[in-house]
Amino acid sequence: MEALEGFWNDINSVAKVQKEKSLLQSITQMYVGLEKLYEECEIMLDMAFEEDDEEAAIEGLNLFEKFLENFHQAEQKMLLSDEVDPNNAIVSITPGAGGTESCDWAYMLLRMITRWAEGQKCKITILDHQNGDTAGIKAVTMMIEGAYAYGMLRSESGIHRLVRISPFDSNARRHTSFASVFVSPELDDEIEIDIQDKDLKIDVYRSGGAGGQSVNTTDSAVRITHLPSGIVVTCQNERSQLQNKAQAMKVLRSRLYDLALEEQREKNREIESGKKEIGWGSQIRSYVLHPYKLVKDHRTNFEVGSPDKVLDGELDSFMDAFLRWRVSSETKG
């Protein structure tokens, strides 16, 4: 089968096809590996029963445990069925009301997601970073590049609630803090998002590094406000204003795409349940560090008693529970 005329001259088309090929190959290899493990397990267990071979029995059980582990990974790939699930993720984190407390909580969430991404061997690029006045962050936006980064990280999109003894309170009182995590997919050029120039308000300003260091001497940072939706995106990572604008537009397209999808999901939920849109304060997950230790996801009811591990990036169990809950909810709908 011949390629379309001019195909190899289109870098974006080639990159997309290569990515799809790589994903399909990984899924095929996974299933071939499962089949091989199952056959090897059967052989060893048959040998164990027929020849009363203890070593074969132990080897068979080890192979079976490995089969179950790989089967779980293959099952997870089946749950990542949306068109954009394999895409890179754009993650934005913003503290809620509460000053230093919430800024510090936002930073803890940044660290949690970064640790998870590092464990998955993802590439992390900070697009925008604004430090808190005393501690933590006022806002951060980052690109996380890796296979199924969006499909996995979309479980983190929503309001996160923290309950702890505040390290900033001299009276050591318990505080509750909120922060928002917003995850959207990086889009390729084939997905059309209609953005009118008249709907954009573009501001440029001088970018600054951490703690006010490395302040740029030119107005290279870009802030874009999409007037109809109220979405605001900023980028100051690149050296030139043109590059920052291009990155900010990429984030805006991603946010508008996800907003359109969420509006459709919300309409479906309202039709089914008659409920109104969930607003700020309706947290998706709570992290309790005092008076007891617990992390609970309020959508799936999945919970663990080791918040320190979760905050250190151990999110896979919550992501798996979310994927199963999402598929179950969509099936019921």
Same domain, 138 and 228: yes
| pTM recorded for the entire structure | 0.74
161: helix, strand or coil: strand
Same domain, 75 and 95: no
Tens digits of residue pLDDT in 249-267? 999 999 998 888 877 666 6
Same domain, 49 and 110: no
CB atoms within 10 A of CB 122: 20
Per DSSP, the chain holds a count of helices (H) and strands (E) of 7, 11
Tens digits of residue pLDDT in 113-142? 999 999 999 999 999 999 998 999 999 999
Which residue spans within the chain are E strands per DSSP? 89-95, 123-131, 137-145, 158-165, 174-185, 200-205, 221-226, 231-235, 285-288, 294-297, 303-304
Same domain, 28 and 69: yes
Q: How many independent structural domains does the chain possess?
A: 2
pLDDT higher at 143 or 23: 143
pLDDT (0 to 100) of residue 212: 40
Residue 72 domain flag: yes
The token duo for 328 is: 């179950």
Tens digits of residue pLDDT in 42-96? 899 888 888 888 888 899 889 888 888 888 777 777 788 788 898 999 999 999 9
pLDDT (0 to 100) of residue 215: 45
Tens digits of residue pLDDT in 171-189? 888 999 999 999 999 987 6
What angle is formed at CA 262 by the lines to CA 281 and CA 76, rounded to 5 degrees?
Answer: 95
Distance CA 264, CA 259 (A): 9
Same domain, 73 and 205: no
Distance CA 3, CA 52 (A): 57
Residue 244 domain flag: yes
Same domain, 290 and 208: yes
Final residue of a structural domain among 79, 107, 122: 79
Distance CA 111, CA 14 (A): 34
The token duo for 219 is: 């107005």
Distance CA 68, CA 167 (A): 43
Residues 6+ positions from 143 with CB-CB distance below 8 Å: 88, 89, 90, 91, 123, 124, 125, 127, 186
Same domain, 198 and 127: yes
Mean pLDDT of the region 302-319? 97
Distance CA 325, CA 192 (A): 29
Same domain, 96 and 70: no
pLDDT at position 330 over 80: no
pLDDT at position 272 over 50: no
Same domain, 190 and 221: yes
Distance CA 311, CA 226 (A): 33
Distance CA 85, CA 73 (A): 15
